[in-house]
Structure 1
């Protein structure tokens, strides 16, 4: 039993982390681990179709204050009982956007409800308005760069929402220097960043003389590139790089193995595609914690992954592939101006890059003292200790009322939904949603005059064309 008399004692504050997928488990656990040691923290994983496997859970919690043994998997219906026992001052909803929309109302109806916090596990540029709508029933949204805070505040203002946003350092950047890159704002060089503010960084040759760091790591992303031929093309470049560097391993770092769930579905598995590029022995597919892979890495390549930020924090050269476009759909717009974008031709030739200091200062590498999420969280907790927090109304309700809410719950819980209403809503909602999507596609074709717009994508030696729809932000980007 907990001593209720400690409720107003800062040393007795409690945070409950509620997570769902592997990336959200990793982010929630890592963020909570940066709280002062006076906070007592517990982490649970909601039973759902995307819950991590035991191996994924162990990898996600590596380096945090949690262990796989201490992280319980709980059903959504059992959450009230857990809250009654642990009685948290705050709850971090480390969940995909639609799941926040399902869980937040359950917490809001509690007497003297806890402070509700949400956020994102990775890159959130461009800032999608729908991501704010999903999280409108939380008190605090944690972001990880000055640019993100600016863009999300603008979205909230346009939507008429009074959401509070806070700045944190991405918890995976533990290797980043304490005084990151604020000096870049004054266009002054800093030894903490390889490049110099105001000067375009040149490509750097791979350092191959460090015996402890020999691997070239490719950080995969489930969503991009989406097309099968693009993935085979990328694997082909990695295979050629491996052939040119037989003394180094080229590691395709995946988030999940066959049968394991991820935050996003992955249609084409890299391991399955590997035979198509006649891989040399030193081109391998591995899972495991990213920090573990970077410990032996000499450089990192990705299409779009927060792993590139981890590499930069460790002083490793990196490359963000732009062959398949730079767009919202590719989740790589944030890297414009970073100096990290390059082609698969650069990859094959080993031309990796260092990041521009001014870009770093505005994107994820602010000085430690600029982060204010703990202060803002504690302000909310202190206010709650004086007066119970008000309920946060759902201003932008989804059409469909109770049946729509039951449908959203079933969509998030899948077979873990025990409710009869959820079964009914699913039976009605799936065909209805399919019909709506068909109508939208038809309307889109009519607006475009029956012919899709095309946009060129850069590839060494050839060009592909894709529908303009690919430039739009995917609907589920707000779910990450």
Structure 2
């Protein structure tokens, strides 16, 4: 294991992540901050990026040109690494349970940094679980004025008073002049839509688009190669659904920024890639074949002018966003992005002893419940006996309680498209399935 060299007088910022989308977000977020010393710490979990995914995530940042600024560590090494490095700011970049687990490790440090967390893309509606698990951070970063308002309202509703800061979506770089491409790029998503028949319908739409114009490519942009993992577990992948595709329908594992260089337009159900494309001047179709509702994560695109159906995709009738929608959703004035100014103020307060630590309380279920939380994040990387026992004993109980809470949440939650927030619990069923699978393999 390597540690950074002599300490710079500039503020020291360390991002801690594991999964692909979060690593990309954190790397680009802190890369856009000038005059700081930066490092990226990758923790080994079942979701940890491969070397290829890591390279794609940091492409276009200063991390790509400095291999020493990226370090892989085991979970048991995190606290010691931070104690030696003594960062001023730590950016926690992972799914909600990962953020809570790393927050517990930060609680063990004698010299406590300012703890920042956030969400790697669009986050409308604001989700209770996303905020609840980050309530012990000093600052939470989101990416639109609409999201700031939604998470502030949600915080008041559930009593989670986390300061919410605005940042421009860090990998959405605006392009002034762009030469037009010819590719139809489809941004695939692991969980949306979830039904196999819906994913087969998308595969057929893409096949028809390729057949309609054999001289232009249809590029299915995937985030993981076979054997790699993502932040969410994909079922019914497009490589299987499109096994007998036309020759001009191809798969790409390149960074999205590279795929957009040759794009005529981008198609997605609800991927944040739509924002990245619009920032690059690439028009978009947000596929509304399956409707517009919270389960598809596409309610944010209502009134955007981007919605279109299968016929629009086949005919390549791409759109640009409505200006009023754009200014509220992710294309605000860059001068309004002040998350780093807020972080600097928090650093100054902490140095003067005026910023109390937001420590994570013990789990209500005691040591065994905390062991389950750790095992939930680390899977087989957790070598402890308590973690293995918790995986066997607690997982079935958590799965049952989660299913019950989700049913109650659906009944109690308001219309997310109307109020931009939902009080439904954070869905942990996927985490429980991952943990169960990890237990079987161990």
Provide TM-score, normalisation by structure 2: 0.88
The reply to whether residue 402 of structure 1 matches residue 370 of structure 2 is: no
Deviation per CA, 1:201-260: give whole Å up to 9, x if none: xxxxxx9xx6x6111100111111111111111111111111111111110000111110
User: Would you say the 8 A contact 2:210–2:248 is kept in 1?
Assistant: yes
Q: Which residue of 2 aligns with 1:464?
A: none
Q: Partners of 1:138 and 1:293 in 2: how far apart? A: 35
- Residue 30 of structure 1: aligned partner: 28
Secondary structure, counterpart of 1:15 in structure 2: strand
Alpha-carbon displacement from aligned partner over 1:269-293 (angstroms, at most 9, x marks no partner): 1011113xx4211011111100000
CA displacement, residues 258-314 of structure 1 (integer Å, 9 cap, x when unaligned): 110000000111011113xx4211011111100000001111100111111111112
**What does 1:362-377 correspond to in 2, within 5 Å?**
362-377=328-343
Alignment size in residue pairs:
415
Structure 2 SS opposite 1:252: strand
Match of 2:51 among 47, 51, 54: 54
- What residue is the counterpart of 2:200 in the other structure? 232
1:59-458 matches, within 5 Å, as 59-67=56-64, 69-70=67-68, 71-175=70-174, 213-275=181-243, 278-387=244-353, 389-394=355-360, 399-436=364-401
Q: Report how far residue 401 of structure 1 moved.
A: 2.1
TM-fit CA distance, 1:478: 12
Match of 2:415 in 1: none
CA distance in 1, matches of 2:363, 2:149: 26
Give the match for residue 421 of structure 2.
none
Contact 1:97/1:478 (<8 A) preserved: no
Q: Equivalents in 2 of 1:133, 1:354: separation in Å?
A: 35
Change over 3 Å in CA distance of 1:388–1:3 after alignment to 2: farther
Assess, with a 3 A threshold, how the Cα gap between structure 1 residues 474 and 421 changes in structure 2: closer, same or farther.
closer
Once residues 410 and 229 of structure 1 are traced to their aligned partners in structure 2, the CA distance between those partners, rounded to angstroms, is 33
Matches of 1:21 and 1:35, distance apart in 2: 22
Whether 2:440 is the aligned partner of 1:475: answer no
Given that 1:328 and 1:473 are in contact with CA atoms closer than 8 Å, whether structure 2 keeps it comes out as no
Unaligned runs of 5+ in 1: 178-191, 193-206, 448-471
Deviation at 1:399? 3.5
Preserved CA contact (<8 Å) 1:130 1:478:
no
Instruction: Tell me the secondary structure at the aligned position of residue 369 of structure 1.
Output: helix
Looking at structure 2, the residues matched to 389 and 151 of structure 1 have their Cα atoms a distance apart, in angstroms, of 25
Q: What is the Cα-based RMSD across aligned positions, in Å? A: 2.6
What displacement does 1:367 show?
0.5
State the 1:376 CA deviation: 0.2
* 8 Å contact kept, 2:402–2:429: no
Q: CA deviation at 1:108?
A: 2.1
Any idea what SS the aligned residue of 2:295 has? coil
Max radius of gyration: which structure? 1
C-alpha distance 434-161 of structure 1, shift in aligned 2 (>3 A): closer
Task: Report the 3-state secondary structure (helix = DSSP H, G, I; strand = E; otherwise coil) of the residue aligned with 1:141.
Answer: strand
Distance 1:316 1:435, change over 3 A: closer
1:215–1:3 CA distance, 2 compared to 1 (3 A): closer
Could you tell me how far 1:430 is from its partner in structure 2? 1.8
Partner of 1:337: helix, strand, or coil? coil
Which blocks of at least 5 consecutive residues in structure 2 are unaligned? 412-423, 432-442
Taking the aligned partners of 1:126 and 1:441, their CA distance within structure 2 comes to: 16
Moved more, 60-69 or 222-231: 60-69
What whole-Å deviation, never above 9, does each CA across 1:137-191 have from its counterpart, x for those lacking one?
10000110000000001111112222111100001111256xxxxxxxxxxxxxx
Q: Distance in 1 between matches of 2:171 and 2:239?
A: 26
